[in-house]
Amino acid sequence: MKKYSFAILFLLGFTCFIKADEGEPVNKHIPGDTLRAKTTSPDAMVICSFPVTNITFPSSPTACDGSITFSIPTSCGAGPPYKAVSGGTCPTGPILGMLPPSFTVTGLCSCNGNYVFAFYDANSNLVGFSPACAIPYIPVISITDSIIQAVCYGSNNSKVSLSPSGGTRPYTYNWSPYGGTDSVATGLSPGTFTCSVTDSNSPTRTVTYSVTIPALALITSSQNLTLCAGQNVTVGTNTYTASGTYTDTLTSFKGCDSIVTSTINVLPLISGTQNISICKGDSILLAGTYENTPGVYTDTLLSHQGCDSILNITLAITIVDTLLMQNGNTFTAHAAGAIYQWIDCGNGSLINGATAQNYTATQNGSYALIINQNNCTDTSACVSVNLVGIQTAAFSETGIQLYPNPNRGHFIIALNNSTQISIDNTFGKTIFNELVPAGKKEFDLSIYPKGIYLLKATNNNTIQQMLKIVID
């Protein structure tokens, strides 16, 4: 009996073909056309289509979990329910109750041959044949990936490498939206990419793999800086001295750009003036140095904000007027409206009740004035009174004789008894003070200025006699 083999049928990616024995009334299948078959009765030809819509391949070489899904016509011959009887090299038992719109034959084992089904209508008339379909076990393609991401923000140099396994090599690749036709796609920007990986099985198997390259964040930072007037700050290659907001592009430790926003506030220079007055003879610390000379001084201080502040200080010296005017044994202070206290220069004691601007001495001696003027206090020079009961040359009851007088600084003092002799100038300064024995003693005061000097003769701390010495 002659056999016929018909063209291979490709349905939805599955490889199926039709076989018929000699004498069976079948039509030749035209590729792309509907499956055609004839019944066993030459006078009753029925044309039906039972296309294969899906094939599930067994999960392992020994598993029987494959399936074939047919599209079932609503009307063919006597109509449904239809029955299928398998043939070919991979037979199954009869399959009953096939109803439209589709029916799946399950429990198919991995087979190196072909599954072929004959379809019968409700009256058991042959109304069609299925393609002869092979459903061998085909290893599943699995894929692992390796992503090398771009280091820097905005870079388009990410790389994805796919490593498929399973199926039958060689594989073909098709990346979308771009990436080429190799297992390695380079030059990728952040986004989602798919790659269709197809093996070399017959039928082929295609796996679509999706991979996402995350977008890198731009490295940004901000800083608030406060500067003192005259200071500056350098950010990257730029130096700033004024207030404002500035943006600089720096290089991170990975070699990428990083954006730094700097908000700079420059504090104004703080300056001021101050007037200070001190008393003559006092001093004040200015700019690290004690000063007692009037003038303008500049001091740099630290403000509460930590910046320099400039202080211009005008220093004035208050001088107390200590000038005394003398008329005989009466003294008058030149300064009016001050606070006065007259003192005895002989013993340094305050003269009780002597607080007026003038003072009249009641005995010979040396006197001075303590003056408080404009919150400053100073003491005048000692001024002597030598006109109250002063003897000039002859022996007195105390037995003291001084000659010549006046003189040019050279004179002789003759004493009856040993006597304490002191000589003061008109300022009350003692220039001589010794215990002089009885007899004559020569004095030389020529080194002192011309003027009137006061000699005091003292015994037992009591002034016995005062003499006026005139050096001209």
Separation CA 176–CA 195 (nearest Å): 6
Summarised one tens digit per residue, pLDDT across range 193-249 is 999 888 887 556 677 878 787 777 788 899 999 999 888 999 988 999 999 999 998
Average pLDDT over residues 243-257: 86
Write down the mean pLDDT value for the chain: 80
> Cβ of 131: how many Cβ atoms within 10 Å?
26
State the pLDDT at residue 130: 83
Check whether residue 17 and residue 78 sit in a common domain. yes
Q: Which domain holds residue 353?
A: 324-385
149, 194, 197: which is closest to 169 by C-alpha? 197
Q: Are 332 and 325 in contact (CB under 8 A)?
A: yes
Inter-residue contact 158 to 193 (CB < 8 Å) = no
Which is nearest to 215 in space by CA: 278, 256, 301, 156? 156
Residue 249 lies inside a defined structural domain of this protein: yes
Confidence of residue 386 (pLDDT cuts 50, 70, 90): low
**pLDDT of 239:** 94
Whether residue 157 is contained in a domain is answered as yes
| pLDDT-derived band at 18, boundaries 50, 70, 90 | very low
Q: Check pLDDT > 80 for residue 394.
A: no
Domain identity same for 237 and 304: no
Q: What is the mean pLDDT of residues 448-465?
A: 82
From CA 208, how far away is CA 287, in angstroms rounded?
Answer: 82
> How do 158-165 and 184-188 pair as beta strands?
antiparallel
Residues 10 and 126 in one domain: yes
Side-chain-side CA neighbours of residue 252 (13 Å): 14
Is residue 16 assigned to a domain? Answer: yes
The reply to whether omega before 91 is within 30° of 0 (cis) is no
Give Dmax over CA atoms of the chain in angstroms: 196
Note whether 106 and 49 are same-domain residues: yes
- 13 and 71 together in one domain: yes
State the average pLDDT over residues 254-277: 89
Enter the tokens of residue 9.
């049928």
30 and 119 inside one domain: yes
Give the residue with greater pLDDT, 21 vs 240.
240
Number of domains in the chain: 6
Tell me, yes or no, whether 394 lies in a domain: no
User: Does 14 share its domain with 124?
Assistant: yes
Average pLDDT of the segment spanning 60-67: 83
- pLDDT reading at 30 higher than 60: no
More confident residue, 445 or 209: 445
What's the token pair of residue 298?
């500049």
Asked if residue 39 has pLDDT above 50, the reply is: no
| CA 259 and chain centroid, separation | 14
CB atoms within 10 A of CB 393: 12
State mean pLDDT over 380-387. 79
Does residue 202 share a domain with residue 299?
no
Is 395 part of a structural domain of the chain? no
Question: Are residues 280 and 263 part of one domain?
Answer: no
Q: What span, in angstroms and rounded, lies between the C-alpha atoms of 446 and 460? A: 30
Rounded Cα–Cα distance for residues 443 and 414 (Å):
11
Per-residue pLDDT at 16:
53
Is pLDDT above 80 for 420? yes
Report the CATH number that the domain containing residue 423 is assigned in CATH. 2.60.40.3080
What is the chain's alpha carbon radius of gyration, rounded to the nearest angstrom?
A: 67
- Residues in contact with 460: Cβ distance below 8 Å, sequence separation at least 6, in sequence order: none
pLDDT digits (tens, 9 = 90+) for 315-372: 998 888 888 887 778 888 888 999 999 999 988 899 999 999 999 888 888 899 999 9
pLDDT (0 to 100) of residue 17: 40
CB of 258 within 8 A of CB of 249? yes
Which burial class, exposed, middle or buried, applies to 390 when counting CB atoms under 10 A from its CB (0-12, 13-18, 19+)? middle
Nearest residue to 470 (alpha-carbon basis) of 401, 409, 381, 398: 409
Per-residue model confidence (pLDDT) at position 202: 58
- Amino acid 46: pLDDT: 57
Last residue of a domain, one of 228, 243, 267: 267
Same domain, 91 and 176: no
Residue 391 lies in a domain: no
Q: Is residue 464 over pLDDT 80?
A: no
Per-residue confidence band for 22, with pLDDT thresholds at 50, 70 and 90: very low
Q: In what order do the strands lie in the sheet with 330-333?
A: 324-327, 330-333, 358-360
Q: In what order do the strands lie in the sheet with 308-318?
A: 270-279, 308-318, 295-302
Question: What is the predicted pLDDT for the residue at 357?
Answer: 92
Least confident of 15-29, 57-71, 403-417: 15-29
Pick the more confident residue, 33 or 166: 166
Find the range with the poorest average confidence among 64-68, 119-123, 209-213: 209-213
Same domain, 198 and 258: no
Residue with tokens 């506030």: 265
Q: What is the CATH number of the domain that holds 189?
A: 2.60.40.1080
Mean pLDDT of 38-61: 66
Q: What percent of the chain has pLDDT over 90?
A: 25
CATH, residue 91: 2.60.40
Are 239 and 331 in the same domain?
Answer: no
- Give the percent of the chain with pLDDT over 70: 86
ω into 437 cis (within 30 of 0): no
